[in-house]
Amino acid sequence: MPQTLVEQILSKKTETTVRPGQIVMVEIDQVFAHDLSGPLAISQLGKLGFAGFKSPEKVRFFLDHASPSSTVASANEQKTVRDFADEWGVELLDVGEGISHQIVMERFARPWDIIIGGDSHTCTGGAVGSLAIGMGSTDVAVAMYLGKTWLRVPETMRFVLKGHLPKGVYSKDVMLHIIGAIGSGGATYRSMEFVGPAVDEWELHERAVMPNMAVEAGGKCGLMPSDSMTRRYFEEQGRPQDYQPLTPQLDAPCRFEMTVDVGTLEPQIALPHNVDLVVGVNDKKARGVKVHQIYLGTCTNGRVEDFRIAAGILKGHRIAKGTRLVATPASRQVYLEGLKEGLWTSIIEAGGLVNSPGCGACPGVQTGILGNGENCLSTMNRNFRGRMGNPEAFIYLASPACCAASALTGVITDPREVLA
């Protein structure tokens, strides 16, 4: 009987044939928390009588949300995490290393792994075929303590992507289009499986956007094939031994199937204050809207390829008066690659500023908080009211190209007009 990707992984792990709706107990391969979810997880471990990790190599802590710390309170929370990791001999990825999800993808996630993370965008790991699921601090603490967790086998929604991305259109636009179509609760409790000839030709930076934003449709996880592109990515990352194939079975029964011809899409914008309020860039609700801040970065679009696109548009130009541009690389690796390529020079000479790797302005706990009534256009994944720290501000979501093009004009602009 053919199975969806999530069913294949859970069947292998449990050595049974799983069915959607079933509750299963699984051993986990990796578990992590960060500076916001970590302190509570550590306190819960204390209540459980924790006295050491059975498999410390499976456990990691990241300090990414305030990177570096922004208040005395965040400095003390981070100190708690640092001290705990040091005491119990587990890996700490300190401030400046970057966003947990990006580092997990670069260095740790493997196809067929089950990864539990104390952050909703843990689902990013699906880009390399990991079953990566976001949970809260207590679930993470128990996963660290017992080395296992319970899961409900999710139904699958299959998205078959075909065609070639037109100039100025990226996987970000495809994902915004899908979320606009199914709604921000459209995939609740489900696995979103992204397959098809378009996916086959996408490199990992393009793929990662899809599972990263699965949670914005309510998805439990997002999964993609592990194939020759994945193998190449692992080789480039210096860990070819981590590659294993994970092959979609397109005849596996699933709850829902949607085919998207990506060749027909135009650049998309999510309007405030919900990710499913999606329109084309030339819709009157988007085009020409004044932009006070552009934010480039995050676990969605903070990779070197994203900054290459943005820097290519900005190079040799000045961003518009009255618009500021904040760029934050997703990881130290991205930061260094961008440095070698001169991407930050292009951005800074255009009038932008570049911050140290991490979550940056996205969670609203540090640099880049918006003023009352201001509009931000960002490569982020969510635009809820108050997300960037101020409930009186407005967040629009788009691709890196759209953000860079709009930085030059000061208003939301179709990137195809500057890429021509």
Q: Please work out, in degrees rounded to the nearest 5, the angle formed at the alpha carbon of residue 280 by the alpha carbons of 276 and 286.
A: 85
User: What backbone phi and psi angles, to 5 degrees, belong to 212?
Assistant: -55, -40
3-state secondary structure of 246: strand
Query: CA-to-CA distance for 339 and 275, rounded, in angstroms?
Result: 32
Paired with 117 in beta bridges are 32, 134
**Which residue matches tokens 């960002």?**
378
CB of 38 to another protein, least distance (A): 11
State which H helix or E strand residue 210 sits in. Answer: helix 209-212
Contact 84, 56 (CB under 8 A): no
Tokens of residue 187, six digits: 């995939």
Which of 404, 354, 355 minimizes the C-alpha distance to 379?
404
Of 161 and 213, which CB lies nearer to another protein in the complex structure? 213
Of 50 and 351, which CB lies nearer to another protein in the complex structure? 50
CB of 44 to another protein, least distance (A): 5
CB of 250 to another protein, least distance (A): 26
Parallel, antiparallel or unpaired: strands 23-27 and 148-152: antiparallel
Paired with 118 in beta bridges are none
Distances (CA, A) of 296 to 86, 273, 320: 33, 19, 16
Strands in 191-195's sheet, in edge-to-edge order, are 221-223, 191-195, 156-162, 256-261
Of 124 and 184, which CB lies nearer to another protein in the complex structure? 184
**Which residue matches tokens 């998309």?**
268
CB of 305 to another protein, least distance (A): 26
Of 337 and 384, which CB lies nearer to another protein in the complex structure? 384
Amino acid (one-letter) located at 317? H
Of 105 and 361, which CB lies nearer to another protein in the complex structure? 361
Cβ contacts of 382 within 8 Å, gap of 6 or more? 216, 275, 397
Of 28 and 311, which CB lies nearer to another protein in the complex structure? 28
Of 77 and 173, which CB lies nearer to another protein in the complex structure? 77
Question: What are the residues binding another protein (CB under 8 A)?
Answer: 23, 25, 36-37, 39-40, 44, 47-49, 65, 71-74, 76-77, 118-120, 122, 134-139, 141-142, 145-146, 148-150, 152, 184-185, 188-189, 215, 218, 220, 274, 363-365, 369, 382, 384-391
CB of 75 to another protein, least distance (A): 10
Of 71 and 228, which CB lies nearer to another protein in the complex structure? 71
CB of 148 to another protein, least distance (A): 8
**Which residue matches tokens 């030709």?**
201
CB of 185 to another protein, least distance (A): 4
Which of 278, 281, 303, 266 minimizes the C-alpha distance to 183?
278
Of 38 and 129, which CB lies nearer to another protein in the complex structure? 38
Cβ contacts of 34 within 8 Å, gap of 6 or more? 61, 62, 63, 64, 65, 100, 118, 119
CB of 123 to another protein, least distance (A): 10
Which of 134, 139, 133 minimizes the C-alpha distance to 41?
139
CB of 318 to another protein, least distance (A): 32
Q: Which residues of 284-319 are buried (b: 16+ CB within 10 A; e: fewer)?
A: eebbebebbbbbbbbbbbbbbbbbbbbbbbbeeeeb
CB of 362 to another protein, least distance (A): 9
Of 146 and 258, which CB lies nearer to another protein in the complex structure? 146
